[in-house]
Amino acid sequence: MLAAVLTLATLATLFGLLLGYASIRFKVEGDPIADQIDALLPQTQCGQCGYPGCRPYAEAIAAGEAEINLCAPGGEATMLAIADLLGKEPKPVEGDEGSHGIKKVAFIHEEECIGCTLCLQACPVDAIVGAAKQMHTVIADQCTGCELCVPPCPVECIEMVPVKTTLGTWKWPYPGENLLQRPEEQPS
């Protein structure tokens, strides 16, 4: 009896120490699940999900506090990728427009700009250059199209313009098979 109790107690202590050591020795910095989710998000930093950027939203999903269908710019593709990663049921995306809509970037009508710097402060990726009382302009290549700069502008000189398709960005369309085609395979 005593031997059994002692054996079990010793084993328990040993394993406890082992686990305690492992939790210190192999401690993982940050949250790997959040990292993986963050890598799937489109990084527009638009805040349409209700979180102040893509990273906070990824952390919220990882913590189970947020739904997976809140990312409008990512659209269905992003939602499906996250559902696949986490093994969750896919849900329809609210306000889905991103992946199917045309990508837009901000454009400042420079003759109307008064140089107030409000849009500079709103831009999450520092894609607007300018200074107080100097004209501002958008670096189109860096703009994620989040539209966060549009509401703060006091003179409404920022417009979202669609990105033009060039020879370099043109894509071959999905072939339309005109016979025996199921409805969900209609070319998008």
Q: Which of 45, 71, 148, 149 binds other proteins (CB under 8 A)?
A: 45
- CB nearer to other proteins: give 53 or 130: 53
Report the distance separating Cα 107 and Cα 61, nearest Å: 33
- CB nearer to other proteins: give 4 or 188: 188
Q: Which stretch binds other proteins (CB under 8 A): 8-16, 28-36, 107-115, 175-183?
A: 175-183
Residue type, 113: C
Q: Which stretch binds other proteins (CB under 8 A): 11-19, 62-70, 79-87, 177-185?
A: 177-185
Contact between 137 and other proteins by CB under 8 A: the answer reads: no
Report the distance separating Cα 48 and Cα 70, nearest Å: 8
Contact between 44 and other proteins by CB under 8 A: the answer reads: yes
Contact between 47 and other proteins by CB under 8 A: the answer reads: no
Q: Which of 30, 64, 92, 175 binds other proteins (CB under 8 A)?
A: 175
Give, in order, the Cα–Cα distances in Å from 133 to each of 113, 124, 136, 151, 155: 9, 21, 9, 19, 14
Q: Which of 4, 5, 27, 172 binds other proteins (CB under 8 A)?
A: 172
Q: Within a 13 Å sphere around the CA of 155, how many CA atoms are in the beta-carbon half?
A: 13
| Distance, first Cα to last Cα, the chain | 74
Q: Which stretch binds other proteins (CB under 8 A): 3-11, 27-35, 41-49, 105-113?
A: 41-49
Report the distance separating Cα 141 and Cα 59, nearest Å: 27
